[in-house]
Structure 1
Amino acid sequence: MPENRFLNMKSGLFSIVILLLFSATSMHAQQRVSDTVVSTFLIQASYSLQFPGKNLSEYFGYNSTIGVVLGYKTSQNWLWNAQFGFIFGDQVNGREELLSRISTPTGEIIDGDGTFTSLALFERGYHFQAKIGKIIPVFGPNPNSGIYFMTGLGYLAHRIHIETQFGTAPQITGDYAKGYDKLRGGFAHSLETGYMLMSNHRALNFSLGFEFIHAYTRSLRDYDFNLMGFDNTKYTDHYYGLRINWMIPAYKRSPQRYYYY
């Protein structure tokens, strides 16, 4: 009996020690973000609402961009990001001019069966870039939050996507569509500033900022039906946008280190 009682007491003390150690570790893990500038991997989902400028506004209105960001935040609050964004929208300008060579005098499109069809125009594109930035820890609950500044270099491309709403339109299918889509691409650089929050309790982690993208683009098609030849113009395309990045935090095995997804 005494031996069993001793074993039960020992087991109880061991459980209490384990519980205290776990609580202390958890408290330390929670305090790291609130007290210390942490280094952490960052995996984020992003959304941008963008407005065009310069030559881009000739064919497009506002658009959206969704993407992913893979990054790393250092213990000195430096940010290193690699990101990819998919550009999409339905605000396309210059429809009549763009389709003038395949339209009737009244602006209608005749399909392969000799009846009228309807075409819908969309903006499509992509943008990938590498970014570097810095967090200034002000106006935040911890030294990992604050105003940030970033700059980046990358590549951007965009085009007009044409869809047939009903019927068939052989004039804009296959290789013929390439003569109308105004595909352009080229080197781009960006500037971004905003506010980044890393919550002490991992409940809310995001960045919200204004982004400016300056792209030097040219036609990537060999033939443009509207020009009846190759477009050798050099374009300057601007995107002005409001951007939000969402981070979902998760622990790895050790609670001493954060990994953000």
Structure 2
Amino acid sequence: MTTEYRFRFSQFRLFLLVLACSVVGRSASAQKSVRDSSISMTMIGAIVGVQSPGGDLSDRFGTNFNIGGTFQYKTRTNFLFGVDGYFLFGPDVKDEGLLRYFLNSSGAITGLDGQFANILLYERGMKFDLKAGRIFPVIGPNPNSGITLTLGAGWIQHKIRIDNKSEAIPALSGDYLKGYDRLTGGFALTGFAGYTNFGNKRLVNFFLGVEVTRGFTHNLRRFNFDTREQDDRLRNDLFFGIRGGWLFPLYRRSPRAYYYN
């Protein structure tokens, strides 16, 4: 993970901690039963997804996978507010022309030692956003579960990771990689439609649905070494995928009632 990614992820974790401390007290005071009533609660969770590219992104990458975390707060009226963050990765890079100046007459890349260099390309990226939405309890085991619609806004970025572990090609090592990695980022909007379930016994809590993201991105590098020009055009990066997650709600159990004749 680069220093830039570590810094951004540290900021994201700090934001989650502050947000958690601000609302966990309120959700912990809920005394009603999740089985019978709609209650407020704080949630943390692990999220995973798989996405297909569209727009300008489809010219550069294929299918990607992602993994991350979520922090959410649900009100008694089933409105949702939260923040998501995840890393995305994939093995399918279509923009292989960026290495064309390193190819010999046989179409291979030769290192300083005269041997064929095995240069691998991967997709890497990250995304985090603030989101709001609502759970509509038309189906599910209790009033807290149901059809879920959310809209999010935040930041997305992606790049081509060039794997040159042997460093057989000095021009593809260190800071030189920044001239080839196509680091791209910008504002993103995300829509989600799916189902959220909170188990009556707090054991089965999850969400699953379809997600669409549009990124209004641009190249974050000043200059591309392979094209020998600056790429400052606005991109239309689209992601279509399936997202799910396992939730861990934080709320008190309702006290048991005892009746005597």
Q: Structure 2 length as normaliser, TM-score?
A: 0.82
1:234 is matched with which residue? 234
1:54 is matched with which residue? 55
Higher strand fraction (1 or 2): 1
1:159 aligns with 2:172: no
Q: What SS does the aligned partner of 1:98 have?
A: helix
- The Cα RMSD (Å) is 1.7
Matches within 5 A, 1:104-123: 104-123=104-123
Partners of 1:248 and 1:151 lie apart in 2 by 21
Q: What SS does the aligned partner of 1:117 have?
A: coil
Q: Which amino acid aligns with 1:191?
A: G
Q: What SS does the aligned partner of 1:176 have?
A: helix
Question: 1:154·1:189 contact (CA, 8 Å) conserved in 2?
Answer: yes
Partners of 2:139 and 2:203 lie apart in 1 by 18
Which has the larger Rg?
Answer: 1
Task: Report how many aligned residue pairs link the two structures.
Answer: 226
- Post-superposition offset of 1:165: 5.7
Question: 1:48·1:66 contact (CA, 8 Å) conserved in 2?
Answer: yes
- Post-superposition offset of 1:107: 2.2
- Post-superposition offset of 1:240: 0.4
Partners of 2:159 and 2:250 lie apart in 1 by 38
Consecutive unaligned residues of structure 2, counting only runs of 5 or more, are 1-29, 256-261
Q: Structure 1 length as normaliser, TM-score?
A: 0.82
- Post-superposition offset of 1:105: 2.8
Percent identical residues: 38
Matches within 5 A, 1:97-108: 97-108=97-108
Give 4+ residue runs of structure 1 displaced > 4 Å after superposition.
Answer: none
Q: Which amino acid aligns with 1:255?
A: R
Q: What SS does the aligned partner of 1:216 have?
A: strand
Partners of 1:173 and 1:165 lie apart in 2 by 9
Partners of 1:203 and 1:122 lie apart in 2 by 37
Q: What SS does the aligned partner of 1:35 have?
A: coil
Question: 2:42·2:250 contact (CA, 8 Å) conserved in 1?
Answer: no
Q: For 1:104-159, what per-residue CA distance to the aligned partner results, in whole angstroms no more than 9, with x for missing partners?
A: 13221121223211111100000010000100001111000000100010000000
Consecutive unaligned residues of structure 1, counting only runs of 5 or more, are 1-27
Partners of 1:238 and 1:116 lie apart in 2 by 36
